[in-house]
Homo-oligomer: A and B are copies of this chain.
Amino acid sequence: MSRATLSRDAIVDTTIRLIREHGADALTMRGLGQALGTDPTAVYRHFRDKAELLRAVSERLLGTVTIGLPDGHEWRPAVVELCRRLRRALLEQPRLATALQFGPPLQPSEFAITEELLRRFCAAGLDIGAAALAYHSVIELTVGSAAIDAAMHSMSDRERSQQYTRWRSVYAALDPAEYPETVAASAAMYRGTAEDRFVHALGRLLDGLVPTR
């Protein structure tokens, strides 16, 4: 057995790898211990409990969201890029979305995301109250898109597109007397990637939030 020297960073690394490979639901402390080459309970020397470990994971994942965003006068590309990154980070750990609101200690990366979004919305010409509302709005959309796509995220591209095709045929096969619009729309449902659909929704939301005068 490799004599692993445990550290918070090494534990977080391995946890993220396990979640990425096997899904968030499959993460157990016993499995984590095995992947680390230590007794499962050794992790408890470094983290109070599983929740604190997952908070550290989320901090790591969210930390990359705001770095190196396109700067300059255009607010919109920056907001879109930030939200795309946030969505991808949330996808890694779906549970994270709701867990965010829980913990007593808001995390540094969350503050950075909030500040960046508020700054861009102010740059877009919104007053501070409208910027706060816009912040809440885009966060809600981003979290929802990630939550809906989370189940598909562990699939391969092939499996995913098969699943979309299957759903389209289910819609297409409905009784047209009872579900006329669904049958008519069936070919248009779940078109493109989930991220495409998210970017479209975000675009329309930003259109509504920041009216062009």
Q: Is there an interface contact between A143 and B133, defined as CB atoms closer than 8 Å?
A: no
Q: Does A69 contact B (CB under 8 A)?
A: no
Distance in angstroms from A207 CB to nearest chain B CB is 4
Q: Does A145 contact B (CB under 8 A)?
A: yes
Q: Is there an interface contact between B188 and A132, defined as CB atoms closer than 8 Å?
A: yes
Q: Is there an interface contact between A208 and B204, defined as CB atoms closer than 8 Å?
A: yes
Distance in angstroms from A101 CB to nearest chain B CB is 4
In the bound complex, CA of A190 to CA of B147 (Å): 22
Q: Does A80 contact B (CB under 8 A)?
A: no
How many of these chains are in the complex? 2
Which B residue sits closest to A166, measured CB to CB? B104
Q: Is there an interface contact between A101 and B141, defined as CB atoms closer than 8 Å?
A: no
In the bound complex, CA of A92 to CA of B102 (Å): 17
Q: Does A19 contact B (CB under 8 A)?
A: no
Interface hits, A95-134 → B, CB 8 Å: 97-98, 100-102, 106, 111, 114-115, 118-119, 122, 128-129, 131-134
Q: Is there an interface contact between B205 and A97, defined as CB atoms closer than 8 Å?
A: no
Given contacts A111-B179, A200-B137, contact A147 B189 (CB under 8 A): no
Closest 7 CB pairs of A and B: A144-B144, A204-B208, A207-B208, A137-B201, A208-B208, A118-B181, A132-B188
